[in-house]
Structure 1
Amino acid sequence: MNSLPGAPRLNPITSDRDEVRWNGQARGETEVQRLDRNWGSLVQELRVLQTGVQLLAGFLMIVPFQAGFAELDDGGHVVYFVTVSAAVLAIVFLLAPISMHRFLFRRHRLAVVVTAAHRYVLLGLAMVGVATTGALVMVALAATHSVWAAAGAGASIAVLIAVLWGWIPLRVTRRLTDERSAPPTR
């Protein structure tokens, strides 16, 4: 693997040494270049996520000040509180990498920042999923006045989010891991 002369040896984001070796061979990247690329990718993802989540949270924050909010029953208030809490937690998780980067800036700890940012983004995505589901439940409840329609809409979007954001990526990851660990065929 290539490395810059005098550059500190950084821990890879992943413990998968085959991936680190592949990046070095196929892309000709050093560990520092790989970390820079990964940080750039994370920042791009954060730009998209942060804006959407902040807008969602902002709209949710004004809901209690609307006349119809008082008409919600206790269940509706619980759904609202869980939804707005998830949106705020998503903001916290999605802004945490930026804070960490600022504190560790110029301290040669990009590996720590990228690893932590990866984990924060995953937690943030989970909270975005909860907030999105809750927002749809609230809209469906307001539009139809039917708990069943709201529950059906919420369950449908929750399943879709779980499949697209979780199950499929994990399945692909597992398949790739199985292919790599399979004995070579002749």
Structure 2
Amino acid sequence: MTDRHSGTSSASPTHLDRELNELLQELRVIQGGILLLVGFLLVIAFSPRFEKATPFEEIVYYLTLLVSGVAAIVVVAPVVHHRLAFRRRDKERVVVRGNLHVLAATVLVALSILGILTLVTLSLFNPTLTIVIDVLYLALVTVMWGVLPMHSIRQAANGR
């Protein structure tokens, strides 16, 4: 990786190999989740209950399907980049861009889950409870995927 302060590369080949392997493992995890989401969404569209969907539910469904599809593209992009850059000594760029892709895909997955949660809660309960559940979900995602990791990063930077 490029050192932000000096502008020089600070990653050894061994370090890059380890980071690339970790990145590829993380991609495997998130790819499986995205495929499950897309499969779940496709099943919904062909269920008899979907015919009774309101226009709002149809919009939420379509946006959720669209976001899930974009997540699939984003999460596969590092694999394609790695394959195209393979043996071109471009591993550092693959790792840096792959990291950004995984973070973007994670946000898209969170939005996909929010859409699914909205659809299911609306079909089972009322709009007020749907809003409450969605807000609680967003708060949980923010804390678990944002606040706590950033807190750990700050603590590590301060030597704690």
TM-score normalised by length of structure 2 = 0.89
CA contact (8 A) 1:84 1:131 kept: yes
User: 2:130: which partner in 1?
Assistant: 150
**Residue 86 of structure 1 corresponds to which residue in structure 2?**
67
Check if 1:37 corresponds to 2:18: yes
Partner residue of 1:122?
Answer: 103
Please state how far the C-alpha of 1:33 moved relative to its aligned partner.
0.4
Alignment of 1:7-156 (within 5 A): 12=1, 15=4, 31-144=12-125, 146-156=126-136
Quote how far apart the aligned CAs of 1:127 are: 0.2
* Structure 2 gap segments, 5+ residues each: none
The percentage of aligned residue pairs carrying the same residue is 28
Give me the whole-angstrom Cα distance separating, in 2, the residues matched to 1:80 and 1:16.
45
Distance 1:133 1:43, change over 3 A: same
The answer to whether the 8 Å contact 1:90/1:124 transfers is yes
Match of 1:163 among 123, 143, 151: 143
Q: Which of 173, 180, 184 lines up with 2:153 in the alignment?
A: 173
Separation of aligned partners in 2, 1:68 and 1:16: 57
Distance in 1 (alpha carbons) for counterparts of 2:93 and 2:133: 39
Is this contact kept in 2: 1:83–1:131, CA < 8 A?
yes
Amino acid at match of 1:150: T
CA shift, 1:15, in A, is: 3.0
Q: Can you give the 5+ residue segments of structure 1 that lack an aligned partner in the other structure?
A: 1-11, 22-29, 181-186
Deviation, 1:154, is: 1.5
For 1:112 and 1:127, how far apart are their aligned partners in 2? 22
State the 1:147 CA deviation: 1.0
User: What is the aligned-residue RMSD (CA, Å)?
Assistant: 1.9
Do the aligned partners of residues 16 and 39 (structure 1) sit closer, same or farther apart at CA in structure 2, a change above 3 Å counting? Answer: farther
Following superposition, the deviation at residue 125 of structure 1 comes to: 0.2
Could you tell me how far apart the structure 2 residues matched to 1:13 and 1:61 are?
42
What count of residue pairs does the alignment treat as equivalent?
157
Consecutive aligned runs of 4 or more in structure 1 exceeding 6 Å deviation:
none
Distance 1:88 1:170 in 2: 28
